[in-house]
Amino acid sequence: MKIKAEHLQHLKTEIEPILLKYDRLIEEYETGQFPRSEKVQDLQKRFCFDLLHGAGLSRWVSDNLYPYMNDSHIYTALKAVCPTIERRF
Protein backbone atom coordinates (compact mmCIF):
# COMPACT_ATOMS: atom_id res chain seq x y z
CA MET A 1 0.00 0.00 0.00
CA LYS A 2 1.39 3.37 -1.01
CA ILE A 3 -0.07 5.47 1.83
CA LYS A 4 2.11 6.68 4.69
CA ALA A 5 1.34 5.02 8.03
CA GLU A 6 0.38 8.30 9.71
CA HIS A 7 -2.03 9.15 6.88
CA LEU A 8 -3.67 5.72 7.08
CA GLN A 9 -4.09 6.17 10.82
CA HIS A 10 -5.66 9.59 10.28
CA LEU A 11 -8.19 8.10 7.85
CA LYS A 12 -9.07 5.41 10.36
CA THR A 13 -9.34 7.88 13.24
CA GLU A 14 -11.69 10.15 11.30
CA ILE A 15 -13.88 7.43 9.72
CA GLU A 16 -14.48 5.26 12.80
CA PRO A 17 -16.65 7.88 14.60
CA ILE A 18 -18.90 8.13 11.53
CA LEU A 19 -19.51 4.39 11.63
CA LEU A 20 -20.23 4.51 15.36
CA LYS A 21 -22.54 7.51 15.08
CA TYR A 22 -24.61 6.01 12.26
CA ASP A 23 -25.04 2.45 13.44
CA ARG A 24 -27.42 1.55 10.57
CA LEU A 25 -25.17 2.94 7.85
CA ILE A 26 -23.85 -0.43 6.68
CA GLU A 27 -27.35 -1.89 6.51
CA GLU A 28 -28.61 1.13 4.58
CA TYR A 29 -25.87 0.79 1.98
CA GLU A 30 -26.27 -2.96 1.68
CA THR A 31 -30.00 -2.60 1.06
CA GLY A 32 -29.77 0.42 -1.25
CA GLN A 33 -31.30 2.97 1.10
CA PHE A 34 -29.14 5.92 0.05
CA PRO A 35 -29.37 8.57 -2.70
CA ARG A 36 -28.96 7.33 -6.28
CA SER A 37 -28.35 3.75 -5.16
CA GLU A 38 -29.89 2.45 -8.38
CA LYS A 39 -26.99 3.95 -10.37
CA VAL A 40 -24.17 2.47 -8.29
CA GLN A 41 -22.01 -0.11 -10.02
CA ASP A 42 -19.30 -0.57 -7.37
CA LEU A 43 -21.03 -0.45 -4.00
CA GLN A 44 -17.87 -0.88 -1.92
CA LYS A 45 -16.17 2.01 -3.68
CA ARG A 46 -19.22 4.24 -3.26
CA PHE A 47 -19.43 3.33 0.43
CA CYS A 48 -15.74 4.03 1.06
CA PHE A 49 -15.69 7.37 -0.71
CA ASP A 50 -19.00 8.42 0.88
CA LEU A 51 -17.44 7.72 4.29
CA LEU A 52 -14.39 9.75 3.30
CA HIS A 53 -16.56 12.72 2.35
CA GLY A 54 -18.91 12.21 5.30
CA ALA A 55 -15.93 12.45 7.64
CA GLY A 56 -15.11 15.84 6.12
CA LEU A 57 -11.79 14.68 4.71
CA SER A 58 -12.03 16.00 1.14
CA ARG A 59 -9.76 18.98 1.75
CA TRP A 60 -7.35 16.92 3.82
CA VAL A 61 -7.11 14.34 1.02
CA SER A 62 -6.40 17.08 -1.51
CA ASP A 63 -3.71 18.61 0.66
CA ASN A 64 -2.07 15.45 1.99
CA LEU A 65 -2.75 12.44 -0.23
CA TYR A 66 -3.10 13.66 -3.80
CA PRO A 67 0.46 15.00 -3.89
CA TYR A 68 1.70 11.39 -3.91
CA MET A 69 -1.36 9.20 -4.51
CA ASN A 70 -4.17 8.82 -7.04
CA ASP A 71 -7.79 7.67 -6.55
CA SER A 72 -6.83 4.02 -6.96
CA HIS A 73 -4.27 4.25 -4.14
CA ILE A 74 -6.73 6.14 -1.95
CA TYR A 75 -9.40 3.51 -2.54
CA THR A 76 -6.96 0.76 -1.52
CA ALA A 77 -6.29 2.63 1.72
CA LEU A 78 -10.00 3.18 2.32
CA LYS A 79 -10.71 -0.54 1.89
CA ALA A 80 -8.21 -1.18 4.67
CA VAL A 81 -10.11 1.03 7.15
CA CYS A 82 -13.74 0.68 6.02
CA PRO A 83 -15.91 -2.38 6.64
CA THR A 84 -16.62 -4.64 3.69
CA ILE A 85 -20.23 -4.49 2.59
CA GLU A 86 -22.33 -6.77 0.40
CA ARG A 87 -24.98 -5.65 -2.05
CA ARG A 88 -28.41 -7.01 -1.14
CA PHE A 89 -30.58 -5.01 -3.53
Range of the domain at 56: 5-81
Counting every residue written for the chain, the total comes to 89
Q: Tell me whether residue 42 is in a domain.
A: yes
Does residue 86 belong to any structural domain of this protein? no
C-alpha triplet 68, 73, 76: angle, nearest 5°: 150
Residue 88 and residue 65: Cα distance in Å, rounded? 32
Q: Which residues lie closer than 8 Å to 72 by C-beta, 6 or more apart?
A: none
Report pLDDT for 52.
98
Residue 49: per-residue pLDDT: 98
* pLDDT of 54: 96
C-beta separation of 30 from 85 below 8 A: yes
Number of domains in the chain: 1
The three-state secondary structure class of 87 is coil
Q: Is the dihedral of CA 17, 18, 24, 26 positive or negative?
A: negative
User: Within a domain: residue 88?
Assistant: no
Enter the pTM of the model.
0.94
Q: Three-class SS of residue 76?
A: helix
| 45 within domain boundaries | yes
pLDDT tens digit sequence for 52-65:
999 999 999 999 99
The pLDDT tens digits for 19-74 are 999 999 999 999 999 999 999 999 999 999 999 999 999 999 999 999 999 999 99
Write the pLDDT tens digit of every residue in 8-20. 999 999 999 999 9
